[in-house]
Amino acid sequence: MRLLARAKRSTLRDRAVWQAASLLLAYPDEQHAERLDTVASLLEHLDGKPAELLRRTLSALRAADPITAATDYVDTFDMRRRATLYLTYWTAGDTRNRGMAMLAFSTAYRRAGVEPPRKEGPDYLPVVLEFAATVDAEAGRRLLVANRMPIDVLATALAAAGSPYTHTIAAVAATLPAVTDQQVQRARELVEAGPPTESVGLHPFSLTVPPREGG
């Protein structure tokens, strides 16, 4: 019973971390301040390393004026800078394989009883985090674990850019199992070489949840 209770508390903590991270990684639109207030409320119930990391991003975003926050967001999460929030981009790039990779996300959503987002890619990290936080924690965790390598590559890119979003990605990583040496090496290779490239077989997704201007 103690183990069950401990596991339940851990899952509740992780869901709160994922929800806060999803809100912090959203495009700073007109609901930006409201989302930050929600994150602050969530952090009142969290402690430890993930909470500390999330507070760093929260403080940085609250200190920035709305226009600067929006501009920085677009500049930061740019595929050309290898810091995109679309997880399958890291492992499939602009290839036909990416469609199959995204299908795994859509399938997980439907099995949990919800439809994939219509105006956003199913592999968009804020969407995956919200799904894990509010719909199906275990299915969401499996998606995050399966895409741990892209998450680590994203963390590396953000850290190199000195972005405050680095701390949010680190908080998400703290809810997942430790990486293996092989995963670390593969992530390094992706950082150095970039994603696979191919110009056919993909249909672009619109960036609208929340809307990302200038994308």
Distances, alpha carbon 184 to alpha carbons 48, 76, 156, in Å: 24, 23, 11
- The CA distance from 147 to 66, in Å, is 31
Residue 179's pLDDT is what?
A: 67
- What is the identity of the amino acid at 97? N
Phi then psi for residue 208, to 5 deg, are -135, 5
Residue 168's pLDDT is what?
A: 98
- pLDDT tens digits for the chain (215 residues)? 554 455 567 889 999 999 999 999 999 999 999 999 999 999 999 989 999 999 999 999 999 999 999 999 999 997 666 788 999 887 766 556 677 888 999 999 999 999 999 888 999 999 999 999 999 999 999 999 999 988 988 998 899 889 999 999 999 999 998 766 665 556 555 655 555 555 433 333 333 334 344 43
b/e per residue, 86-118, with b = 16+ CB within 10 A?
Answer: bbbbbbbbbbebbeebbeebeebbeeeeeebbe
Residue 94's pLDDT is what?
A: 59
Instruction: Fill in the DSSP letter of residue 175.
Output: T
Residue 212's pLDDT is what?
A: 44
Residue 93's pLDDT is what?
A: 63
